[in-house]
Amino acid sequence: MKLPLDSIIGDRKLKEYLLSPRAEDDKSGFLAIAGYAPIHWHELEADLRKLIAEKDADLTRSTVYGDMYEVKGSLVGPNGKTLQVITVWIRLRVNGETRFVTLVPEKEGAK
């Protein structure tokens, strides 16, 4: 199943969570391997949208808030390096919106 192309990807989620160093659950170092940085957060957003356009989403679980999906694939960063990622999305029960939750490195890591 494909996720909607207009799925919501919050800019704060990208700038202040994924691309900014954090004491816990830091993903900024992983994303920096491919050249993603806070000032170029639009590139990460575009690449996430490309990923959901190309790859199928797998339903992983249902919660009281909605259905959780994973989309696995590659992100080719601004510097040309490829990251293997698992992205997590939720389709909210309350309004049917699909929202980006997070991403995690897949086992293979960066190439």
**Residue ranges per structural domain of the chain:** 11-110
Per-residue pLDDT of the chain (111 residues; tens, 9 = 90+): 999 999 999 999 999 999 999 988 899 999 999 999 999 899 999 999 999 999 999 999 999 999 999 999 999 999 999 999 999 999 999 999 999 999 999 975 444
Q: Can you tell me whether residue 12 is helix, strand or coil?
A: helix
pLDDT of residue 86: 98
Class of domain 11-110: alpha beta
Output the six-digit token pair for 63.
């919660």
**What's the length of the chain?**
111
pLDDT of residue 110: 44
